[in-house]
Amino acid sequence: MRKRQPAEPYRIKSVEPIKLLPREERVVRLRRANYNIFKLDGADIYIDLLTDSGTGAMSSRQWAALMLGDETYAGASSFRKFEKTVREIFGKRFVIPCHQGRSAENLVFTTILEKGKFVLNNTHFDTTKGNTLHKGGIPLDFPCPEADSDDPLPFKGNMDCIRLDEFIHARGSEQVAMVIMTITNNSVGGQPVSMANIKETSAICRKHNIPFYFDCARFAENAFFIKRDEAAYHDKSIAEITTEMFSCCDGAMMSAKKDGLANIGGFITLDDEELYHRLTELLILVEGFPTYGGLAGRDLEVLSVGLHEAMDYDYLDFRIDQVKYFGEKIKAAGIPIVEPTGGHAVFCDAGKLLPRIPPGQFPGQSLTVAFYIEGGVRATEIGSLMFGGIDSETGKMAYAPRELMRMALPRRVYTNSHFDYIAEAAEKIVAGKDKLRGFEIIREPVFLRHFTCDLKALNEETVFVDT
Ligand code: F0G
């Protein structure tokens, strides 16, 4: 294994202190949070890998752009700049700003979904699934068969086009409200989709006359993988690849808190004029006037710069390699991971590491708790706590396909010594893994239960790794 990753392609201009609380204090705070990691405060955490969403560091150019924010209610110059940027990068006619990805989902699904209609996706992210269900739709996933394989294959985020086509034939295209491609595919490990797969999915949608949209929070990271791993694209720029990707879809919803390199923001972009008008009617009701959509002018300025910076080749090359470097370290510490590492996170296979903890007792949560207690590190469960529960169609208890724990890397925030430190904590957890026990839910909401549920440790004494 290599000793270190190439050094960061940036230097630090502003610092934010972080502090590791004593171990006993971490135990107290986690108990107080009912073992739900989302209920901890930022100040309780040493290294926060809960999400790569809205947690990135802005560049000096973005901080400078922030001062240019035009806070005019209607027709702000900051919006015009943002609209031009989004049009140039993604190539669609209309741009609807909104405050984050799930508000884009809410607007789209409220406007187009009829009760009982299907939304088909390579894999829904939790808020996309939640928003579909909330509007009475039925979200179904069509991940490619390789997504479940242990082999480090490229493009494991792909859509299973054969199953997708069969499903549409069997149910009839009028039953399908929309096909969505999540790029990169967050829920299967931040794995990318290939250009070939995007084109194939697009052709199926065109054949059946079904709208085809991207959920494109991490479009630039996806474009990097296409450049690196798809032979025909080695010599194309990230911007050219992005243009080609988006020429295949009818529109997109973006959480710009990821590859917008901003702390807040999102948008919908599309060509359909009639739908644009319907969406903006609702936008005014729930988000704001169409030239700000719930954002400040300064946010729109920051996004206009960030969307371009996210497509910088050197930045992407470092970032994707940093995720890989971290993954190699975690694997060397003895924790099985999803391979290859994807664009934004290392996904640990808690099901494999802790086979004695059944899915119904959330092995991913046990590992998440262990990382907090051992290292003050916050990760998140991506398994049956997030995706399990009573199935709306069958009425039976359903479990996630894999019991994972995600460690997401905020963009441009942590250096490689932070990741080396976490790998040391991982070694200690692996040494004490037989002592880890499961959890049960003692209170849960109807939607997105992992965010706010309360948990109980099945064995308080043994839940913590004792080193
Ligand atoms: N789509 C994808 C693929 C996402 O990963 C997210 C958010 C959203 C939509 C919703 O966007 O947070 O701006 O409302 N993902 C974050 C994560 C929260 O941690 O993976 P949002």
205 assigned to some structural domain: yes
| The two three-digit tokens of residue 244, written as one number | 């080609």
> Residues with Cβ within 6 A of ligand 1?
51, 53, 100-102, 125, 127-128, 182, 186, 215, 217, 255, 257, 266, 408
* Domain end among 241, 275, 309: 309
71: Cβ–Cβ under 8 A, 6 or more apart, which residues? 78, 296, 297, 298
Residue 79 and residue 216 share a domain = yes
Which residues form the catalytic set?
73, 125-126, 215, 217, 258, 450
- CA-closest residue to ligand 1 atom 19: 51
* Atom number, ligand 1, closest to the C-alpha of residue 408: 19
List, for residues 225-278, the tens digit of each pLDDT value.
999 999 999 999 999 999 999 999 999 999 999 999 999 999 999 999 999 999
Residue 429: the pLDDT is: 97
Hey, which of 125, 191, 451 would you mutate to test ligand 1's pocket, going by the most ligand atoms within 8 Å of its Cβ?
125
| CA-closest candidate to residue 404, choices 126, 208, 207, 181 | 126
- CA-closest residue to ligand 1 atom 12: 101
* Domain end among 279, 309, 339: 309
Residue 162 and residue 112 share a domain = yes
Residue 459: the pLDDT is: 79
8 assigned to some structural domain: no
- CA-closest residue to ligand 1 atom 15: 53
Sign of CA pseudo-dihedral 286, 290, 296, 302? positive
- CA-closest residue to ligand 1 atom 21: 101
2 assigned to some structural domain: no
Residue 81 and residue 46 share a domain = no
Mean predicted confidence (pLDDT) in 96-121: 97
Residue 421 and residue 355 share a domain = yes
Residue 251 and residue 355 share a domain = no
Residue 300 and residue 327 share a domain = no
What's the domain count of the chain? 2
* Atom number, ligand 1, closest to the C-alpha of residue 104: 14
Q: Which CATH number does the domain housing residue 304 bear?
A: 3.40.640.10
Sheet holding 94-98, edge to edge: 94-98, 266-270, 251-255, 212-215, 176-182, 118-121, 138-141
* Atom number, ligand 1, closest to the C-alpha of residue 255: 13
Residues in the chain: 467
16 assigned to some structural domain: no
Residue 467: the pLDDT is: 53
CA of 23 to the centre of ligand 1 (A): 31
Task: Give the pairing type, strands 176-182 and 118-121.
Answer: parallel
CA of 26 to the centre of ligand 1 (A): 27
138 assigned to some structural domain: yes
- Judged by average pLDDT, the poorest of 102-106, 137-141, 150-154, 398-402 is 398-402
CA of 309 to the centre of ligand 1 (A): 20
| The two three-digit tokens of residue 95, written as one number | 């741009």
Residue 1: the pLDDT is: 66
Under 8 Å between Cβ of 13 and 218: no
- Percent of the chain at pLDDT > 70 equals 98
* The pLDDT of residue 461 is above 90: no
Mean predicted confidence (pLDDT) in 193-219: 98
Residue 141 and residue 29 share a domain = no
Under 8 Å between Cβ of 274 and 250: no
- CA-closest residue to ligand 1 atom 9: 101
1 assigned to some structural domain: no
DSSP state of 336: -
* Domain end among 254, 284, 309: 309
Q: Which CATH number does the domain housing residue 334 bear?
A: 3.90.1150.10
Residue 194 and residue 176 share a domain = yes
Calpha distance 402→385 (Å, rounded):
11
CA of 254 to the centre of ligand 1 (A): 9
Under 8 Å between Cβ of 38 and 452: yes
39 assigned to some structural domain: yes
* Atom number, ligand 1, closest to the C-alpha of residue 127: 10
* Atom number, ligand 1, closest to the C-alpha of residue 52: 19
* Atom number, ligand 1, closest to the C-alpha of residue 185: 3
Mean predicted confidence (pLDDT) in 21-25: 96
403 assigned to some structural domain: yes
List, for residues 145-155, the tens digit of each pLDDT value.
999 888 999 99
List, for residues 301-331, the tens digit of each pLDDT value.
999 999 999 999 999 999 999 999 999 999 9
Residue 273 and residue 323 share a domain = no
Mean predicted confidence (pLDDT) in 436-455: 90
Residue span of the structural domain in which 370 resides: 23-52+312-463
Hey, which of 50, 103, 258, 286 would you mutate to test ligand 1's pocket, going by the most ligand atoms within 8 Å of its Cβ?
258
Residue 203 and residue 320 share a domain = no
3-class DSSP assignment, residue 264: coil
Give the CA angle between residues 183, 244, 237 to the nearest 5°: 90
Calpha distance 376→388 (Å, rounded):
27
Residue 174 and residue 269 share a domain = yes
List, for residues 337-376, the tens digit of each pLDDT value.
999 999 999 999 999 999 999 999 999 999 999 999 999 9
Residue 426 and residue 347 share a domain = yes
CA of 113 to the centre of ligand 1 (A): 20
Helix (H) / strand (E) containing 455: strand 454-457
CA of 151 to the centre of ligand 1 (A): 26
Q: Is the full-model pTM beyond 0.75?
A: yes
